[in-house]
Structure formats: structure tokens, C-alpha cells
Structure 1
Amino acid sequence: MKGLDIGSDRVDELAATSAILLYGRHQDRSAVYGTVHPVTQGKSGRATIGAGRPIDRMALVDCLRELAQNAAPKAEFLPETVLAVSQEAVMWWCRPAMRRVFFDCQEIGRRSAVVPHPGLVFRAASSGFSVFALQDDSRPTPESKLHEPPYFNTWDWGRICIGSAHVPKRIDIEAIGGWEDGFFESAFTHPNHGNKRVSHANGEFAFWKEMLDGKYGEQFPKDALVPMDLTLAELIAGKQGVR
């Protein structure tokens, strides 16, 4: 997908500053000795580990305490659209709405229009970015059935082909807007191989030509949605295929 840069000010850049090496016996691999090393960043961006020194026990304890504090979820206000939060993923819901889409492919051409979208569930995770469609207009429940995303540039299990789209490096509630922008402001270029994404007599190209021409007004045609064997609760639990 071709994307728009959402800006580096959304991301707190991190860089390696030090490394810990643990030494142990081959028999049981238990650590019996450790060293700490400074890490320097070269001009090419390649990190270099410097000479080490024995680990100071109290310094190690302090380091682990700081890591534990930074890794713990921070207390924050949860908007109504947020469905689930973990250390690996954030999941949220988008109400049905009129939003602009962009196409850049041979069969449709370079076109853009504001079209209706169904309710959507997004999942930004360390393992990837994914989207699912909903039949209902209201906030989904754990029992809600998920549907294939009716979009180009998506793989099975809702996975989004990010391509050249610019999405946040962070996975947290504050970055939700950036993830959505990265998806909607990118150009759909091709249908990906895999499951059927849209139920239409003449296929996905005909469907999206009708959408761009305004055939369906402000209501997304829900009979075009393809059901998946997946509920929201299963998605949250990490059912095999969506991890």
C-alpha cells in the first residue's frame, strides 16, 4: 500500500545503550557469570558492543526494577472504542462511517471517493496489523461474529499488507489514530491471494467500482460481507491464525 507519513513526532525513538552477556555451563545452561557492555551507534546505524565489566548485583537489581516499571501498563482513560489492551496488542472498534478511500490499480485506475464503511475492528500488535468487518452497527460484544475485511491489500485472518504505508512504531491507545490513518490514507493496489473478501456477482473490482461511483449511497451493502469462523472473544484470546 502507498501511504502518507504521519510524522515522527508520534514516536519516541529507542536505541540500544547497553548489553548484558550471561555465561554458563554447557551441561545445564544455567548462568553463573555476567558482564555488562556499553553499546555505541555508528554512523551507518549499526550498533557496536564495547568491552565489558562484571555485573554489579545492585545495579542489575535496579535495572530489572526499572524495566518492570516501564513494561507495566500505565493507568489511562479508555475510550468507548477500545475493546482490548495487552502488552502485545491494542484492539479497537470503528463505527460505520463515510470515509475516503484511494485506489491505484490497473483494473480501477487512480481513483478516490468518500464511501460508506461497515463497522470495523482493528488490531495493532507486535505480530502485525489486522482489520475485520462487522454486520452490526453497535459496539461489538465478545460474541460478535467477525467478517472478512472487504478491502484490497489484506491477507487471510484480516492481516493488512502495510507495504509503504507509514504506521506508528508504538502499540498503545494514543497511537490508534496513527494506525487508522496509515490504513485509510494508503492506496489500495491489488486484491491479495487467499479467502474471498467480498460477496459480489462480478467480483471485487466490480464491487469497488460501484462503491466509488456512489451506487450504495451512505449505507454499506452488508450482504457483500463474507463471514469468518471467528468471534471477537476468539480474536482477543489469540485464536490460531490471528496471533
Structure 2
Amino acid sequence: MAKIHSASRDHDVALQGAILLYGTDLSAFSYATAHRIVTDAQTGRPVIGAGTPLNRRALIQAVRQVAEASLPKGEFLTPNVLSIGPDAITWWCPPGNRRVYFNCEELGDRSAMTPHPGLVFHASPAGFRVFALMEDERPTPESMLYEPPYFNTWDHGKICIGTAHVPKQIDAASIAGWEGAFFASAFTHPNHGGKRVDYDDGFYAFWRDMLDGRFPTFPKAALIPMNQSLGNLIAGQF
């Protein structure tokens, strides 16, 4: 028994049958047979049973049935969603005050409401990513991305999830869970890689001043450009 996760679905499936394709090579199939899966009496393992030839109509029907079952169900898209595909979703988080948590030797165990820039989040099977924005309004494909000004992030906006509990599904309904996992996790350390903020006294001093309430709004002058656009992110070009 296997568990299948897809957009707006979560269900168990079991191996029922197999279709074997025959041909001169992997790009030239000319014959197909359908087989039931039976259980080996001695080992209990599933094995491919005897087959029957599949004609064109039966083969097309089998492929169509699988294709229809794998399609994600339609779902309402809120204005913060920027792009959604079969296995990835990108959304925007407007600038504002949000609570952050820190647990590190340099800053101690601290929590405070601090200002944040506009953010772009991207979730896919390859990982969870975050980027900062210079503008305050909903971004366009031409909007330029900036380094996320946060601990626990790698280059290219990759988030070190650690022990955070992120959703198992990647869909619009799970956005709140992805955001919550990011902001509710404690920032513990700056990851190796490029600079995340441009601040005279460094990364720790930046967040010390942020936690102390030095800035009523996020200091955008500290943002570092990535020379990549939102359109490039959505197109999978970096």
C-alpha cells in the first residue's frame, strides 16, 4: 500500500495491474499486454501474472483513466498566489510586522514583532525558498528578487527547514502552513554562503537592532540584489 499526495488529494492506493510495452527500443513501442498483479504464495510478494494483448482502444482508455485521476482538482486562488503548477507554487507575502524568534548565543533567546519587506515564497519537491522584494505592491514577472534577510537560509533563497513541520502537500490550501513553518521556527544561525544583508556592523547587529525596535519599517537599504527576476524563478531558470 502506498500513499499518494497530490493537489487537494490524499489517498491510499495498492498495486493492481501492469501494462508491459514491447518494441525495438524505448521510443518505438508496437505491442502491449495487460497483466494482473498476483501474490506469490510462498513469499507474499506481488508478481506480474499472465497477460492479455491490449488493443489500441483499451490502451488509450487505460492511459486516459490514469491521466484523469492524476489531474489536480480545481481550487480557488487567492490574490497572493503568483504561480501554481503541477508540482510547485509561488506566492507573495506583503510587507508588514510579523513575530520572529531567535535562539542563538549571539542574540540569546528572543522574540519580537519586527517589520518585514515584501516576500516571495516558492515551494516545490526540490525545497522551500524565500526572497525579498523592494516594492510594496504585488510583484510582476519583471520584479527583481533580493536576498532573504534571514538566518537559516542558504544561497538562492533556499530555506534550512531543520525540525520545522512543513505541509506534505504543495497547493494553495497549504500556503498558511508553509508560511507558518517559516515564521514560527527559531532562527538559530546564519548559513554559509553569500551575504544576506548589507549592514555596517554585520548580520547579528542587524537583527539585534531589529529586535530592539530601531526601525519602524523594514530598512530596504539593507537588501542585497540577486540579479534575478520573479519571472525567472517561476520559469525555473534558477
- Residue 183 of structure 2 is matched in structure 1 by 184
- Secondary structure of the corresponding residue to residue 229 of structure 1: strand
- Please identify, of 54-63 and 143-152, the stretch whose mean Cα deviation from structure 2 is larger: 54-63
Alpha-carbon offset, residue 190 of structure 1: 1.0
TM value normalised by structure 2: 0.82
- Does the aligned pair in 2 maintain the 1:36–1:55 contact within 8 Å? no
- Residue 51 of structure 1 is matched in structure 2 by 47
- Secondary structure of the corresponding residue to residue 150 of structure 2: coil
Greater gyration radius:
2
Q: Identity percentage over the alignment?
A: 50
Alpha-carbon offset, residue 56 of structure 1: 7.4
User: CA separation of 1:186/1:62 partners in 2, compared to 1, >3 Å: closer, same or farther?
Assistant: farther
Q: Does 1:97 align with 2:93?
A: no
Q: How does 1:87-236 map to 2 (within 5 A)?
A: 87-217=86-216, 219-236=217-234
- Secondary structure of the corresponding residue to residue 115 of structure 2: strand
The residue type paired with residue 37 of structure 2 is: H
- Secondary structure of the corresponding residue to residue 174 of structure 2: helix
Q: Which structure features the higher share of strand residues? A: 2
- Secondary structure of the corresponding residue to residue 77 of structure 1: coil
- Residue 238 of structure 1 is matched in structure 2 by 236
Match 2:25 to one of 6, 23, 28: 28
The residue type paired with residue 155 of structure 1 is: W
- Does the aligned pair in 1 maintain the 2:32–2:53 contact within 8 Å? no
Structure 2 residues without counterparts, runs of 5 or longer: 1-7
2:21 and 2:66 map into 1 onto residues whose CA distance is 22
User: CA separation of 1:49/1:205 partners in 2, compared to 1, >3 Å: closer, same or farther?
Assistant: farther
The residue type paired with residue 28 of structure 1 is: D
- Please identify, of 195-204 and 70-79, the stretch whose mean Cα deviation from structure 2 is larger: 70-79
- Secondary structure of the corresponding residue to residue 230 of structure 1: strand
Deviations 1:194-227 (A, max 9, x none): 111111111111111111111112x111111111
User: CA separation of 1:61/1:234 partners in 2, compared to 1, >3 Å: closer, same or farther?
Assistant: same
Deviations 1:101-137 (A, max 9, x none): 1111121121111111100000111211101000111
Q: How does 1:81-92 map to 2 (within 5 A)?
A: 81-92=80-91
Alpha-carbon offset, residue 163 of structure 1: 1.2
User: CA separation of 1:14/1:136 partners in 2, compared to 1, >3 Å: closer, same or farther?
Assistant: same
- Please identify, of 64-73 and 157-166, the stretch whose mean Cα deviation from structure 2 is larger: 64-73
Structure 1 residues without counterparts, runs of 5 or longer: 1-10, 40-47
1:63 and 1:192 map into 2 onto residues whose CA distance is 48
Tell me: higher relative CO, structure 1 or 2? Use CA pairs within 8 A at least 6 residues apart.
Answer: 1
CA RMSD of aligned residues (A): 2.6
